[in-house]
Chains A and B, each alone.
Chain A
Amino acid sequence: MSRLIQRQRAFSFAPRWQTVLDDYVQALAWSTDGQTLAAASIGGTIAWFSADQGNASPVLGRHAFGASALSWHPDRRRLASSGQDGRVILWDTHTGRILQQWLGGTSWIEHVAWCPDQRHLAWSSGKTIMLARPGETAEATPLGSLPSTIADMCWAPGDATLACAIYGGVWLWSPGQPMPLRTFPWKGSCITVRWSPDRRFLATGDQDATVHFWFTATGIDLRMSGFPGKVKTLSWDFSSRYLATGSGPCLAIWDCEGPSGPEGRSPILLEYQAATIRALAYQPDGPWLAAGYQNGHVVLWEPAFSIDPLFSAGPFDGEITHVAWSPGGRQLAVGTSHGNLAVLDFTPKGNSP
C-alpha cells in the first residue's frame, strides 16, 4: 500500500489541456511519436492537435453523416479516417491536404487500420474487408467477404494478419490471400476483438454477455460468462498476461498466465461508484489501466497491485467515450459524448508553475 500512497502523494493527474469538438468523440489516435493526437466526432469532424499545447490543426476535415475511425501511419504524417458517408480519406497532417480517398458502396465504413507491413490500409464496409495500397495504386480491392457485418477488426501486433469479429466468431485474413487464413467459430455475436500483444490469444467481447479467449496456436477456446450485459470494451496489458473486460459496471481482469490461460480462475473485479464502464486502455508499456465511465470520470487502476483506484479525474462533461494512452504511456487522451477532449498527464506535486 505504501507504493500507492507514495505515488498519490507525489503526483497529480489532471488535464494538461482541453478543447471541445462539435459532437460525440468517436475515435482518438496518437501518432507513433506521441507528438500529435487525432480525434474524430460523430458530427463528422476530423481534427488533430499538438500533444503539448492542444493547438488544433488549421484544416478540419469532415465526413458527412459522421466519422467512425482513425489510424495513423507509422510515418507520423499520414492519417486515415473513415465515416458513415462510405468514404475513407488519407490525410497529410502536415499540410491538411487529402492525399487520397476512396468511396465505398452504400455501407458505412466503421473501421480503418494500417497493416503492420506499413503498406496496406484495410477498412470494413458492411460485410466486406477492403484493402488499399496508398501511394502505389489508386484503387482499393476487396480482401474478403464475411457472412455478417464486421463488428470490429484488429491487425495482429507486428504481423499482417487481420482479425475480424462477426456474428459467428472471428475470421483471420491476410493481404494476398484470397481465402480466410483461419476461422474461430462461435455461435454468437462477437462485438469487439483484441489480440494479445504476444499473439498467443485472441479475445472477444460478445453480445451474449460473454468473453471468449482463443489460443491462436491450437484454436482451443475458453468462454467466460457471468457479465451483467454485453461486453463492449477489452484491453490487453503490454505483457499479455492480463485482459481487462468491461460490461456495465463490471470491470473484470483476467489473468492469462500459464499453460491453461485464464481457465478456472476468477477474475479481479474492480468497481468505481457503480458507474458504467465505457472505455478501457492499458498503458502501452506499464501496469496501469485507464477506465472511462459513463458518469464522466476517468480512473487509473493498477489491477495486479490493488483493487483501489490509483488516480481519478473528472467528472468531464458527458460520458467518457474513449481513453487513449500516448505511445510513451505518460499522457492519457480522453473524449466524451459531449465532444470534450482532454489530454491528462502527471505532474509532480508542488512543482506546478
Chain B
Amino acid sequence: MSDPRIPVTILTGFLGSGKTTLLNRLLREQHGKRIAVIENEFGEIGIDQDLVIRSDEEIFEMNNGCICCTVRGDLIRILGNLMKRKDRFDYVLIETTGLADPGPVAQTFVMDDDMREHLRLDGIVTLVDARHVLHHLADSEEVQKQIAFADLILLNKSDLEPAATLDALEARIRRMNIQARIERTIHAAIPVERVLNTGAFDVKRALQTDPRFLEPEYPFEWGGLYALPAGSYNLAFSDGPDPSMRVALLPAEGATPQALDKARDRAVRVFGRRHEVVESPETLTPGFHLYELTIGTQGRSYHVELARDGVFALFTQHHPEEFAMKWLSPRNEFSAVLEAVYKPDHEHDDEVTSVGIRFSGDLHMERLNEWMRELLATKGPDIYRSKGVLSIRQIPNRVVFQGVHMLFDFQPDRPWGSDQRVNTLVFIGRNLDRRELTEGFQSCLA
C-alpha cells in the first residue's frame, strides 16, 4: 500500500552552492504537481499561486535539552496551516539557509504528531559547490553536517574543476557519508525524478541499494612482498619528509595477492600495538614486531636477517619512495614482487565520518536493543544518521532501521528467503570509534 502522506524533500547547501537554481529547476520542470516551497527568508505571505512561502527559521529546543527533540517551530506552524487546505499540494520542498543544521528540520517530521501524521520525509538533498567546498569543509561544522545528513549529494559546478579534483572531492565526501548517492551536476541540472520522491528516507527503502562500503583505512601507506633466499640484507633509506618511520616485516604464505591481503590484516594488528614498538633496532627479523626506524637528515641503513628462504611482507608507515627505500644484498638490489598502496587513516581526524559494519549471523534482539539504546543515549549527539538492515534471530524477515540522532525506528521488511542473512549497519557522525562500534555490534550476536 502506498503511503498517503505528502512527501517532503529538504534542500540544504552552503550559500552559493546552487540551491535556488535547483529549486527553480524543480518547480519549472515538474509537471502536474503542486509543490509547496518553504524558503528561508523573513515573512510568510504566499506568493506565486500561494505556493512559495518564506519563513524565518525558529528552532525549538525542548526542556529536557535533548538535541533530537529540537524541531523547527516555524515549519510546524506553516505546514500545519497548509495541510488544512482542500486544494492540497502534492509535494513540499524546504530550502534551508546556508548555515542551517539539517537535524532539527529532519526531526520535525519525526517528532511532531501533526507533521508525522500528514507528511513523510522523502529525503535530504545537499548541494555542494565543487570549487569551494574544501574550503568550507575546513572551517564550517554546518557544511560537514549537511553532508553527513544527506541522502543525495549534488557535486554542483562540476564543470569548474578538473576530473582529478572532483574524484578526490568525491572520495572525501564518500568517507564522510557512505550511504548517500553522489551525483555531479552543472548548474544543478538533474532529472526531477532523481531528486524528488526517491524514498531515500523511507525506512523500508533505507537500504534498498546496499550502502557502498569504503575501502578501509590502514595505519600504513604501503606494503610489498619480497621473495628472498636466507641471508643478510640491508634496508637503506635516504632523507625523507619525516625523521623516522614505522615498519613491520612479516612472513608471508606466498607471492600472491591473497597472501599479501592476509599479511596486511596481520600487519594491522602489529601496527595497533604501538606500546610494543622497537626503536631503532640493530637488526630486523621477520615476526610480529613494530619497528620505529630513525632515519634523520643523513639517511640510514638497517640490517635485515632472514633465517630461511621465503616470501616476506614489508609494510611501511609512509610510501617508501618518499625515503628512496632500497632492499639490498651485498651484490644486488631487490624489488617487491607484489605491492599495494593503502589509504592511510591519519587524514581529517576531526571531521565527520561514516562507519559501515557488515557481518553475517543472527542478532539477539534484546541485546541489540540494549546496545542501541545505550549507544544512542551516550553518543546520540555525535551520531547524525544511522541506517541498517539486520538479521534477527527467529525473525524470518529483514529488519530495517533508520535513525536521526537519538530517534530511531525498526521495521520488518521482506523475508530473507534463500538469501544469506547478513547484518549491515551504517553510522554517520563525528568522533566515531570504528572499533568500538564494530565490537559493540558484534556483541549483539545471538
Residues of A within 8 A of B (CB): 22-24, 26, 42-43, 65-66, 68, 84-86, 105-108, 110, 126, 148-149, 151, 167, 186-189, 207-208, 210, 229-230, 248, 321, 337-339
Contacts and interface: CB of A to CB of B under 8 A. Distances in A.
B216 interface: no
Nearest to A85: B45
B69 interface: yes
Contacts of A210: 63
| Majority-rule SS of A interface residues | loop
Contact of A208 (B42, B46, B63): B63
B286 to A, nearest CB: 63
A193 to B, nearest CB: 15
Contact of A148 (B44, B63, B73): B73
Contact of A230 (B50, B61, B84, B113): B113
Given A66-B85, A187-B61, A188-B63, A149 B45 contact: no
B62 A188 contact: yes
Choose among B61, B76, B84 the residue with the greatest number of A CB atoms under 10 Å from its CB: B84
13 contacts: A22-B86, A42-B81, A84-B44, A106-B42, A108-B44, A149-B77, A207-B71, A207-B112, A208-B62, A208-B63, A210-B63, A230-B113, A337-B84
A126 B58 CA distance: 11
Contacts of B45: 65, 84-86, 106-108
Nearest to B85: A42
A181 to B, nearest CB: 24
- Give chain B's interface secondary structure class: loop
A106 B54 contact: yes
Given A186-B63, A248-B113, A149 B58 contact: yes
A349 to B, nearest CB: 37
Interface residues of B, number: 27
A339 B85 CA distance: 10
Given A108-B45, A126-B56, A208-B62, A189 B73 contact: yes
A43 B42 contact: no
Contacts of A167: 58, 60, 73
B82 to A, nearest CB: 9
B73 A207 contact: yes
Nearest to B50: A65
Contact of A105 (B43, B86, B114): B43
A53 B146 CA distance: 58
A94 B131 CA distance: 66
B97 to A, nearest CB: 17
Given A66-B81, A187-B63, A106 B44 contact: yes
Contacts of A24: 84-86
B17 to A, nearest CB: 26
Contacts of A65: 45-46, 50
B60 A23 contact: no
Contacts of B239: none
Contacts of A66: 81, 84-85
Interface in B46-73: 46, 50, 54, 56, 58, 60-64, 69, 71, 73
Given A65-B50, A167-B60, 6 more contacts: A65-B46, A86-B45, A108-B44, A126-B44, A149-B56, A207-B60
